[in-house]
Structure 1
């Protein structure tokens, strides 16, 4: 903090609430496990390619891994972005707007993920 700032930063162990910390950690636990799962699968494939193939196979799979990561992060972003409005409408008991949100998400995924990937890989066949 600057000496010219009116805001004073204070840290105290008295304000840490273990119950709130547990809730925060539980909220992020599903994303943590998804990233750990994805990393485990990549490591398992890399090991398999080194045992049954060569470094060239690992390098080729690295390209596929980067593409898969891009798609995964897009899906994670859509899910994370949809969560607040879905929770809001659910809390207000306006569940009729939930199908609208899901259809918007499906259209976005189709237009931004599936269509470009078709055009990227269509020349390979």
Structure 2
């Protein structure tokens, strides 16, 4: 999701998700932010990836959010930045392409017995 650093756009974006009970969509729950929070004292080989991921998060252009069936934010298992800064310091665009791998939920498929379909409040559902 591309929302950039405009304060009003950020407030509108995140409050809209909150209004329709999707409270897991917060800056702190974005895959990139979670990955960065988990990484400390990274090895030299990983430093460039961490730097590129930090740059992507600072630009606030691209956001990834994932939740399990119970609407709990999923656990980030790995982050990878295949399209970040080039060797000369430049980049392909103002977006850094990053990938977040999430750990499987502890909920087994057998425990999920019913699929819920619904509408957001804005669409007229409850």
Return the TM-score normalized by structure 1. 0.27
Q: Which structure: greater strand fraction?
A: 2
Q: Which structure: greater helix fraction?
A: 1
Return the TM-score normalized by structure 2. 0.27
